[in-house]
């Protein structure tokens, strides 16, 4: 049946329903508010019907372009998503114990959180690291720390994600060296480095170098891994932190894919063939509380990226069109008040990610609004994924909400609104220009402010915060990082510097300085440096002397 014929049947019936059923009901029970919208301001209709969904000739199947319904033809009927719990704190030994606990509990992939000094390229004994060592992630200064982190964990048997950006290439070099020392060749390694510097300038702030130098390091990783580490995801283009900064769902999709476009173009400009590196690109999205919008968001992002890669960049391989993504439940949605409520929030967010077709998933722990998660809270978070996988039945059929009138309508609407943003960013000159001009940051700030106003006015209910509030006398157990670990890390580095071949270290740092001024790919030299005990901080300081440091402009 054509769309026009369908509408001619539905519209009169809908009008009759509104007149005979809705109007009398509203006299007795007025609606709760005058307008219902998603986080992106998309107005939700009272009722969706078949005329809101795509026409009958728009039939799509999983594993086929444009992948709205999933990138694999069998999805979770063949294999569940990777259950990849994020972990890292204190020393490499402490985090190694947490990793092994999670693997024993049934986790299927590792995800590494690094402390702030590591994220911005300082060793644990640097004065800039004082008081921050091991506090929000694991401290990694040398290849010995990295080896301890993965002690008794065979790197040819696990997939490892590393949330690291500015010094991502150096941490990957350490991982490659640790693999070699285990007898695992680079081509056997599986995992992901985040390596997404553009969102650092937008939302997160753990940058080191100016944009052009940072983009050069990223494309060096693309080129090296294409040849030598083919199973590795060379970047995880992140909308997660954009959403955590306060963006809407539409903005999360738009700004993430705009950054993705910038990376693809930079790699092409560096002489790489799109079909050589595109299959190693991956994405990282947030999952928030508005369940229907979140499911539609994932479907829209997948479809939009497929079109961008095939139509804009002329990619020929099917794998180049596929948007593969990791999801983490929304950290900013967790509350310190009534923290057990967070278990429910996380379960619903995780369910949205699964319904939306994620490839891997981290579920936040209930106590993360208070501190780093305790072991017991982490176990519940992992069990949440396992219950969704094994007990709910939602993984037994592919894209189970497909055909829902509201899901299909929201998928279309999010795609159109995100594409409008991308077109606007293109007209500005691309994502980097949009970041430097303050456009993207301004859009996110406006969205965050609007949400906070809605909470403070009581228009947006946050259970336990501005409604259903109770007095709480019980302080839950929280994880505390021992300050002594910083002293121990400093002592380890002092021993390392005393026992290594410092003449070789100085020689390699000079070589690195010269190479950074050339067009050479720096990855082989990073690997050689860490093999000879050059530390993370020493490598980054050498690069700072060549590239400089990024200083954002201040806007008042």
Residue 222 is assigned to a structural domain of this protein: yes
pLDDT of residue 4: 62
Q: pLDDT (tens digit, 9 = 90+) per residue, 434-483?
A: 999 999 999 999 999 999 999 999 999 999 999 999 988 767 788 888 88
Residue 418 is assigned to a structural domain of this protein: yes
Residue 358 is assigned to a structural domain of this protein: yes
pLDDT of residue 478: 83
* Mean pLDDT, range 522-550, rounded to an integer: 98
Does residue 432 surpass a pLDDT of 90? yes
Percentage of the chain surpassing pLDDT 70? 97
Q: pLDDT (tens digit, 9 = 90+) per residue, 193-214?
A: 999 999 999 999 999 999 999 9
Residue 349 is assigned to a structural domain of this protein: yes
pLDDT of residue 3: 57
Give the C-alpha separation, 218 to 345, whole Å: 35
Give the C-alpha separation, 5 to 298, whole Å: 31
Give the C-alpha separation, 276 to 315, whole Å: 10
Domain that includes residue 349, residue range:
75-456
CA-closest candidate to residue 525, choices 511, 537, 536, 535: 511
Minimum mean pLDDT among 192-196, 251-255, 369-373, 429-433: which range?
A: 369-373
CA-closest candidate to residue 242, choices 411, 445, 425, 504: 445
* Mean pLDDT, range 87-115, rounded to an integer: 93
Q: pLDDT (tens digit, 9 = 90+) per residue, 380-396?
A: 999 999 999 999 999 99
pLDDT of residue 33: 87
Residue identified by tokens 């979770």 is 76
pLDDT of residue 6: 59
Q: Are 372 and 316 in contact (CB under 8 A)?
A: no
Q: How many CB atoms lie within 10 A of CB 445?
A: 14
Name residues whose C-beta falls within 8 Å of residue 225's C-beta, 6 or more positions apart in sequence: 232, 234, 280
Does residue 58 surpass a pLDDT of 70? no
Crossing angle for the helix pair 168-182 and 211-228, nearest 10 degrees? 20
Name residues whose C-beta falls within 8 Å of residue 450's C-beta, 6 or more positions apart in sequence: none
Does residue 273 surpass a pLDDT of 70? yes
pLDDT of residue 477: 80
- More confident of the two residues 542 and 484: 542
Give the C-alpha separation, 522 to 513, whole Å: 10
Beta bridge partners of 114: 138
Reading the block at residue 426, the tokens are: 């293109």
- The number of residues making up the chain comes to 556
Reading the block at residue 513, the tokens are: 């300085």
The domain that contains 326 carries what CATH number? 3.20.20.240
Residue 467 is assigned to a structural domain of this protein: no
| Residue 243, Cβ density class (10 Å: 0-12 exposed, 13-18 middle, ≥19 buried) | buried
What pTM, to 2 d.p., does this model score? 0.93
**Mean pLDDT, the chain, integer:** 94
Residue 42 is assigned to a structural domain of this protein: no
pLDDT of residue 555: 56
Does residue 57 surpass a pLDDT of 60? no
Does residue 53 surpass a pLDDT of 90? no
pLDDT of residue 49: 87
Residue 284 is assigned to a structural domain of this protein: yes
Residue 136 is assigned to a structural domain of this protein: yes
pLDDT of residue 304: 98
Q: How many domains does the chain have?
A: 1
Buried b (16+ CB within 10 A) or exposed e, 462-483: bebebeeeeeeeeeeeebebee
Does residue 112 surpass a pLDDT of 90? yes
Sign of the four-CA dihedral 300, 301, 307, 312:
positive
The conformation of residue 43, written as its DSSP 8-state character, comes to B
Confidence category of residue 258, pLDDT binned at 50, 70, 90: very high
């Amino acid at each position: 049946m054509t769309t026009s014929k369908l509408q001619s049947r539905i519209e009169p019936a809908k009008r009759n329903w509104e007149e005979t059923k809705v109007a009398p009901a509203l006299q007795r029970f007025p609606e709760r508010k005058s307008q219902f919208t998603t986080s992106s301001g998309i107005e939700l209709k009272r009722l969706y019907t078949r005329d809101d969904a795509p026409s009958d000739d728009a039939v799509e199947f999983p594993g086929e372009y444009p992948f709205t319904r999933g990138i694999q033809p069998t999805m979770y009927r063949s294999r569940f998503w990777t259950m990849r719990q994020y972990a890292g704190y204190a020393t490499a030994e402490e985090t190694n114990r947490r990793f092994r606990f999670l693997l024993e509990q049934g986790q299927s992939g590792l995800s590494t959180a690094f402390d702030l000094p590591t994220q911005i390229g300082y060793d644990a004994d640097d004065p800039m690291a004082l008081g921050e060592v091991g506090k929000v992630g694991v401290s990694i200064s040398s290849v010995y720390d990295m080896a301890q982190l993965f002690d008794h964990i065979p790197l040819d048997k696990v997939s490892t994600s590393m949330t690291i950006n500015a010094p991502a290439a150096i941490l990957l070099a350490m991982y490659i060296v640790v693999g070699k020392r285990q007898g695992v060749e680079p081509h056997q390694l599986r995992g992901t480095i985040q390596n997404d510097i553009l969102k650092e300038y937008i939302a997160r702030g753990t940058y080191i170098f100016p944009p052009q130098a940072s983009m050069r390091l990223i494309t060096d990783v693309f080129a090296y891994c294409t040849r030598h580490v083919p199973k590795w995801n060379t970047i995880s283009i992140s909308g997660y932190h954009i959403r955590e900064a306060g963006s809407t769902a539409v903005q999360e999709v738009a700004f993430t894919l705009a950054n993705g476009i910038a990376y693809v173009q930079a790699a092409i400009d560096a002489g790489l063939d799109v079909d050589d590196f595109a299959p190693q690109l991956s994405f990282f999205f947030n999952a928030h509380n508005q369940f229907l919008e979140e499911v539609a968001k994932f479907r829209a992002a997948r479809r939009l990226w497929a079109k961008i890669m095939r139509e804009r960049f002329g990619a020929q391989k099917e794998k180049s069109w596929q948007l593969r993504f990791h999801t983490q439940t929304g950290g900013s949605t967790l509350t310190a008040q009534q923290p057990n409520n967070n278990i429910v929030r996380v379960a619903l967010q995780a369910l949205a990610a699964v319904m939306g077709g994620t490839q891997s998933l981290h579920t936040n722990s209930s106590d993360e609004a208070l501190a780093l998660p305790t072991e017991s809270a982490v176990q519940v978070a992992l069990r949440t994924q396992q219950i969704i996988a094994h007990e709910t039945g939602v993984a037994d059929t592919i894209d189970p909400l497909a055909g829902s009138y509201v899901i299909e309508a929201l998928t279309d609407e999010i795609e159109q609104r995100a594409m409008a943003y991308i077109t606007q960013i293109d007209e500005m000159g691309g994502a980097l220009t949009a970041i430097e001009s303050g456009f993207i940051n301004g859009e996110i700030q406006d969205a965050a402010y609007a949400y906070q106003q809605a909470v403070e006015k009581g228009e947006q209910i946050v259970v336990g915060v501005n409604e259903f509030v109770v007095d709480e006398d019980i302080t839950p157990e929280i994880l505390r990082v021992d300050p002594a670990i910083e002293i121990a890390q400093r002592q380890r580095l002092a021993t390392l510097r005393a026992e290594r071949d410092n003449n070789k270290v100085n020689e390699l740092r000079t070589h690195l300085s010269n190479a950074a001024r050339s067009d050479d790919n720096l990855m082989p030299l990073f690997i050689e440096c860490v093999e000879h005990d050059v530390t993370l901080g020493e490598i980054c300081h050498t690069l700072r002397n060549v590239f400089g440091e990024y200083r954002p402009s201040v806007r008042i």
